[in-house]
Amino acid sequence: MGALNKVTLLLLIVGGLNWGLVGLFDFDLVAAIFGDMSVISRIVYVLVGVSALAQIVPLMKGDQLTVSSVRR
């Protein structure tokens, strides 16, 4: 797994956890850390969105994520 793939996967995990907090507790962690719709929080949201688009490529190629590939 390449470095870009690892970074985008990490950003998607952060984004997914943030949405889970929003759904369960109406708490936006990114907004709490960086400010509600501040420049930095908007950049984080954009990076999560771009990461989702970047992860479409390995999905369409059929790359399989395994525990052993994450440890490398």
What's this model's pTM, rounded to 2 decimal places?
Answer: 0.75
pLDDT digits (tens, 9 = 90+) for 2-26: 888 899 999 999 999 999 999 999 9
- Alpha-carbon distance of 20 to 10, in angstroms, equals 15
The conformation of residue 65, written as its DSSP 8-state character, comes to -
- Residue 63, C-beta contacts closer than 8 angstroms, at least 6 positions apart: 1
Nearest to 9 by CA among 39, 69, 26: 69
In this prediction, residue 1 carries a pLDDT of: 67
Element containing residue 57 per DSSP (H, E): helix 39-61
